[in-house]
Amino acid sequence: MTVVGELRRVSVSLGPGERRVAALTRIDMQVEEGRVLGVVGESGAGKSSLARSFLRLVAPEDGAVLFEGSDITATPERRLRRLRSRMTMVFRDATTVLDPRLTARALIEEPLRLHTGMGSGERRAAVDALAERLRLRPAELERRPGELGIDRLQLVNVGRAIVTQPRLLVLDEPTRDLDTAAAADLLNLLAELRTGGMAIVMTGHDIAAVQPVADRIAVLYLGEIVEEGATADILRDALHPYTQALLSAHLAADLTRRGRRIRLRGEPPTPEDRTPGCGFAPRCPIAENRCRSGAPTPNQVGTDRRVACLRVLEGTSRIPLTR
């Protein structure tokens, strides 16, 4: 399987001068063609920084970013631009990222105009074909962002990103503002694109947002990957205490699970609150003294999973559900 996007020990810092804080710490991650990687984390965990890192939209402080096997860590923006039609991004909040003066058609057509030599007739046909696939009606193509509901607008946002048929598609919380039905439609579309061989990275606030299409899931907490593995494995047997808590916070249709969950104290921290030791220790229900001094690094567990928790290696990281 060909690796399309890759981060190697990438660290990213954000903010001005003295108030610079670590947004991502030593992230190792890759996405292959025809695969979907789901990145899950609460606000401040570093989801957006990670999404942007794949496309070199942020410059890492340390580590390397690779696209289709070539190192683009130090590639100047002028040369990166040539790659921008093959690695694209769906930014968060379609209501503000789309130019309000352009029609949906012009917005979707724009990348073709910038990156390809297509003539206007050809571009028009390409947009029409894509719109049909997105189930955007012809009348909707002639409307501007202000005249479209958020569900429809997000389709335009995604349409822009896939019209050039990229090899790598990164979506930052694409289903956040959508109704359940529109979110399911979008996930179906991503599944289709995956079948077509696209490599996809999508972020989400909770596991539910990425679970239906993600082949692998990475859980972020305070800029570090606390657990990463195949979706089925994580859903069946989450090993990191934070992953377990996130999973138990799923408000599932299952009435028998009512009220049984892991309750975390406090709120998701910001990088400024980072304490020594394991970043999750202050909220972890099973933290021990050693968790507050030694920071765990992601350890390989079994053949296909990485978990950053001291207790995992001893097999004592599972938390019983309480009512």
Partner 1 sequence: MLLDVQDLRVERVADGAPALAGVSFRVVKGRILGLVGEHGAGKSLTASAILGLLRPAARVVGGRALFEGQDLLRMSDADLTRLRGARIGFVVQSGHATLDPSTRVGAQLIRAMSIHRPIVKAEAAWRAETIMSSMGIPEPRQRMREWPHELTPSTVQRVVVALALINEPQLLIADEPTAGLNITTQMQILDLLHLELRRRRIGGVIITRDLGVVAQYCDDVAVMFAGQVVEQGPVAQVFARPAHPFTRTLIAIMPDRLATGGGRAYGGPLPESGGGCPYRPRCDQAAERCATAPPLVGAGVHAARCHFARIGAA
The yes or no reply on residue 187 touching partner 1 (CB under 8 A) is yes
Q: What residues between 27 and 56 interact with partner 1 by CB under 8 A?
A: 42-43
Candidate ranges 4-12, 97-105, 174-182, 309-317; the one touching partner 1 (CB under 8 A): 174-182
Find the shortest distance in angstroms from Cβ 95 to partner 1. 13
Other C-beta atoms lying within 10 Å of the C-beta of residue 312: 20
User: If binding is defined by CB under 8 A, does position 146 make contact with partner 1?
Assistant: no
Question: Whole-number minimum distance, CB 113 to partner 1, in Å?
Answer: 29
The distance of closest approach from Cβ of residue 55 to partner 1 in the complex, given in angstroms and rounded to an integer, is 25
* C-beta closer to partner 1: residue 248 or 317: 248
Residue 67 Cβ vs partner 1, minimum distance, rounded to whole Å? 27
Rounded Cα distance, 51 and 258, in Å: 34
> 22: which 2 tokens?
């670590």
Give buried/exposed letters for 57-77 (b at 16+ CB in 10 A, else e).
Answer: bbebeebebbbbeeebbebee
Q: Which structure tokens are listed for 160?
A: 């822009």
- Strand runs labelled E in the chain: 3-14, 21-32, 36-40, 62-67, 70-71, 87-90, 168-171, 199-204, 216-221, 224-230, 299-301, 305-307
With CB under 8 A as the contact rule, which of the stretches 6-14, 50-58, 93-101, 184-192 interacts with partner 1?
Answer: 184-192
As a whole number of Å, the end-to-end CA separation of the chain is 44
Report if residue 195 touches partner 1, rule: CB under 8 A.
Answer: yes
Count of residues that interact with partner 1, criterion CB under 8 A: 45
Reported as half-sphere exposure (CB side, CA atoms, 13 A), residue 180 has a value of 1
For partner 1, the closer of residues 258 and 290 by Cβ is 258
Window 208 to 237, contacts with partner 1 (CB under 8 A)? 208-209, 211-213
By C-beta, is 113 or 260 nearer to partner 1?
A: 260
Residue 300 contacts residue 306 (beta carbons within 8 Å):
yes
**Residue 111 or residue 159: which is nearer to partner 1 going by CB?**
159
31 or 178: CB nearest partner 1 = 178
Beta bridge partners of 252: none
- The contact pattern for partner 1, residues 114-143, with x = CB under 8 A and - = no contact, is ---------------------x-x------
Q: Does 239 bind partner 1 (CB under 8 A)?
A: no
Report d(CA 116, CA 36) in Å as an integer: 26
Taking the C-alpha atoms of 7, 20, 218 and 243 in order, what is their torsion angle to the nearest 10 degrees? 160
CB nearer to partner 1: pick between 7 and 134: 134
In the complex, what is the shortest distance from the CB of residue 69 to partner 1, in angstroms, rounded to a whole number? Answer: 29
Shortest distance in whole angstroms from residue 150 CB to partner 1: 7
7-10-16 Cα angle (round to 5): 135
Nearer to partner 1, 127 or 209 (CB): 209
Using CB under 8 A, which residues numbered 241 to 300 contact partner 1? 245-246, 249-255, 258-259, 261, 263-264, 267-268
Instruction: With CA atoms as reference, report the closest residue to 131 among 155, 111, 107, 151.
Output: 155
User: Phi first, then psi: what are they for 119, rounded to 5°?
Assistant: -80, 170
Q: Catalog residues that contact partner 1 under the rule CB under 8 A.
A: 42-43, 135, 137, 149-151, 178-185, 187-188, 190-192, 195, 205-209, 211-213, 245-246, 249-255, 258-259, 261, 263-264, 267-268
